[in-house]
Structure 1
Amino acid sequence: MRVAHLSLDEKFIDCAIDQFKELEGVDSTFCALSNGDIFKYIKSDNVLMFHSSDEMVDYINSHGFDYVVIHSLCISPRYLLKLSLPILWNSWGYDIYSDRSDPFQKILNLSLYKPMTRRIAKVGPQTLKDRAILVLRKFGILSKKQKRYYQLIKKIRHISVVLPSEFTEIKKRFPHFELYPFRYIERNTENEDTVLLPNKDERYSRRILLGNSNDPTNNHLDILHKLNSIGKEYEVFIPFSYPNTDPKYIQSVIDRSKEFKNLKITFIKDFMPFEEYSKILKSCQSAIFGHFRQQAVGNISYMMKTGRNVFFYEGSTLYSFYKNNGYKVFSLDSELDSEHIETPLSMDDRKSNHDKNAAKHDYQAYIQKLQAFFDSLR
């Protein structure tokens, strides 16, 4: 079976390449769109580089592939609709969720933003055209962009998701979908005997990781305001190198962050190897994830595995997932205080979170499941 992969130059693609190398009877060719002459994030060899969506789609259509895996809806549906072979969709989160106020609606709709972020990111209809689209949608009249999106959705049969609840909700709206068991997980190489050891340096108790990117769905300023109001000094690390889709929002967060006098804030603006990044993660006692949709699961899993205190909004799909599965997690709404931030988890809770996370990320069992899926396609 010959499988093409369609993606952008993204940091998760190397993980997928390693996985597909392990599958028997599946010959994969990875194709990625790039803005430059070299890839910034993809490090693997033998990835075909393209500089236009049309060029990449034409190549995939004309080289005898049996299936195409799309790593998110990373190019316009206008081009994806031109694909002439069955599509397997690896959803990422941003491509299945939209805010309820957005003129363009995706397959799952939530209220994604807290008040400060909603104002600064200028979420929702911004023009008369946007407002007209919202009004017409109430009467069942859809924009061309929306029609094209739904046309693509109907064309795709298989979708992968991160949380089981996502597929349940998707299936309610689009019953034709079937679950495709792909996830971006890597073979664990870390010494499991050391990751559970608590930090002995008391300085770590006031170090906090906030979010996973510069995307507004992190609700950065709302959380910084809440942290600052505790009245104690905290050191906050904010990953801010990715994905750079809203420069005005990024600059607004940096500028407004200076207002929070109790917080020493470090924006991690440069992409760094995971070995270096993980040192920052390990130096933090707590991690706060302000997303209402599924996002940042790699960072969350790492902080769970290493016994950190992890906070979510109670309305988040992530909070529901981890609470329902017995993890020890905390509420951003009612438990973000000095006691819950600075007090380490008990060893029992650390071990429980670690073991649940390890079971969920059993790499070999996962590869066997993925192999069985592709065997079933023959």
Structure 2
Amino acid sequence: MLKILNILVDDKFIDGLIEVLEFTKGEHKHDYILIGKGVIEKFQYITKTEYIKQIDNKDCLNFINNNGYDLVILHSLACIPWFKISQIDNKIKVLWKAWGFDLYRTPSEIQPFVKLRRLHPITKKYWWRNYKDKIYLNLKTWFYSQIHKKQIESAINRIDYFSGCLPNEFALMRKNSFFRAEHVELPYFHLKSNYTTKNKDIFQELGHNILIGNGAVIANNHFDIFKAISTIDISDKQIIVPLSYGGDDFYIKDIIAYGNKIFGANFHPILDFMSLQEYNTLLSTCSHAILGYEQQAALGNAAELLWLGVKLFLPQTSVNYKYFRDNGYKVFTIENDLTEEQVSQPLTSSEKMQNREAFLKTMSVDINLEKINKIYKVIEKDS
């Protein structure tokens, strides 16, 4: 029997994670903690609070090292004061479930573990004009990361297993000489999702709208996408832009102003937080979607869109595009495919089925459960 400690942050993925781990654990035992200063009285996202114990920063190492754990899973680097990672007892295996911020903005925006071009030209100019305060902060963070370079590398070197949100992130992380972890896949998903073989041939009727982005995060590259689509006739479509998640108030205001200027009455920003069911219903009103991230991001959105049969456009150099293309999905590039002809035509029936079949091989409920069970087997073998 394995005793496993999950170190969490309060985020919207965690309820589904707990449900999956409790379902798959068999004879194994999962514990769940949040590390912080003081006690959180009310969580923002987690509702399964009965599973969670809160541990103070100063007590966390004692708790981790002295409770007989075989495996500690770090759900993002934000879950623990990360210089403490290298102080975890060597008898305990450590698995890092890396989130986007971990890879593409840590240990500093200037020199992250995985460096890529996050902002496209118009959005980058906007950033330089409107985020001058971040320039000083980024430099300060970079200096700090240089001063503590050995400690940072030691923390990452302590990690035994790595799971990105996409498998191709492992190869990107391996470019760091101090990274030695083995690759496993720890997916976040919902047990009750429709992504199953049983539902393979069931397609609902879609609307004709276009989704742009998944929130108010600047890495969506809204300005560049709006510009790219501005010359295309979208008179019979609504441009739906979710802005209720992440981002700065002034950025939201400027996106709305620019969207109204370009698309007029066809522009439809989403400012209110929706339940998952409401949001998925909104996605089903779309025949086309454009997600402008260069980094891995918005995977929940991408998965639902591909399963529904929406035509998905991504940057051709993006981590998301390369993953979907290499795994048999029919996806399109913003640079080469965002044309009048492509926007006027939805996916064909055969293209929709191609994406369903690719999905069932890579991200279905059954496949994801296999990935979880494989982790147990790997740890059992190595412990």
Q: TM-score if structure 2 supplies the norm length? A: 0.83
Partner of 1:161: 164
Partner of 2:18: 17
Deviation at 1:153, TM superposition (A): 1.1
1:236 to 236, 239, 247: 239
CA change 1:128–1:327 in 2 (3 A) is closer
Helix, strand or coil at the partner of 2:379: helix
Structure 2 distance, partners of 1:99, 1:229, is 37
Partner of 1:106: 112
Structure 2 distance, partners of 1:195, 1:101, is 45
Partner of 2:295: 293
CA contact (8 A) 1:87 1:156 kept: yes
The C-alpha deviation readout for 1:175-221, integer Å capped at 9, x for no partner, is 5121122111333543715642443xxxx22x112222322211112
CA change 1:90–1:129 in 2 (3 A) is closer
CA change 1:228–1:54 in 2 (3 A) is farther
Unaligned ranges ≥5, structure 2: none
Structure 1 distance, partners of 2:114, 2:8, is 22
Deviation at 1:343, TM superposition (A): 1.1
Partner of 2:100: 93
Structure 1 distance, partners of 2:150, 2:267, is 43
% same residue: 24
Partner of 1:218: 220
Alignment of 1:1-378 (within 5 A): 1-21=2-22, 22-32=24-34, 36-48=40-52, 50=54, 53-54=57-58, 59-75=63-79, 76-81=81-86, 83-84=88-89, 85-98=92-105, 102-103=109-110, 105-122=111-128, 127=135, 143-174=146-177, 176-190=180-194, 192=199, 195-199=202-206, 204-205=207-208, 207-233=209-235, 234-244=237-247, 246-262=248-264, 264-361=266-363, 362-378=367-383
The answer to which structure has the higher helix fraction is 2
CA contact (8 A) 2:103 2:114 kept: yes
Give the partner amino acid of 2:340.
S
Give the partner amino acid of 1:108.
V
Select between 320-329 and 27-36 the one with higher mean Cα deviation: 27-36
Structure 2 distance, partners of 1:258, 1:55, is 52
CA contact (8 A) 1:121 1:249 kept: no
CA contact (8 A) 1:89 1:158 kept: yes
The C-alpha deviation readout for 1:60-86, integer Å capped at 9, x for no partner, is 345443322111111442454554454
CA contact (8 A) 1:100 1:110 kept: no
Structure 1 distance, partners of 2:133, 2:160, is 31
Give the partner amino acid of 1:2.
K
CA change 1:276–1:345 in 2 (3 A) is same
Deviation at 1:152, TM superposition (A): 1.5
Q: TM-score if structure 1 supplies the norm length? A: 0.84
Deviation at 1:286, TM superposition (A): 0.9
CA change 1:131–1:72 in 2 (3 A) is closer
Give the partner amino acid of 2:370.
A
CA contact (8 A) 2:165 2:296 kept: yes
CA contact (8 A) 1:241 1:269 kept: yes
Structure 1 distance, partners of 2:349, 2:141, is 53
CA change 1:161–1:100 in 2 (3 A) is closer
Structure 1 distance, partners of 2:254, 2:351, is 38
Aligned pair count reads 366
Deviation at 1:363, TM superposition (A): 3.6
CA contact (8 A) 1:285 1:342 kept: no
Unaligned ranges ≥5, structure 1: none
Select between 184-193 and 105-114 the one with higher mean Cα deviation: 184-193
Deviation at 1:335, TM superposition (A): 1.7
CA contact (8 A) 1:198 1:307 kept: no
Deviation at 1:11, TM superposition (A): 0.9
Structure 1 distance, partners of 2:52, 2:77, is 19
Structure 1 distance, partners of 2:261, 2:10, is 35
Deviation at 1:118, TM superposition (A): 1.7
CA contact (8 A) 1:323 1:329 kept: yes
Deviation at 1:258, TM superposition (A): 3.1
The C-alpha deviation readout for 1:111-140, integer Å capped at 9, x for no partner, is 111122223334799556856987x8xxxx
RMSD, aligned α-carbons: 3.1
CA contact (8 A) 2:107 2:145 kept: no
Helix, strand or coil at the partner of 1:230: coil
Helix, strand or coil at the partner of 1:46: helix
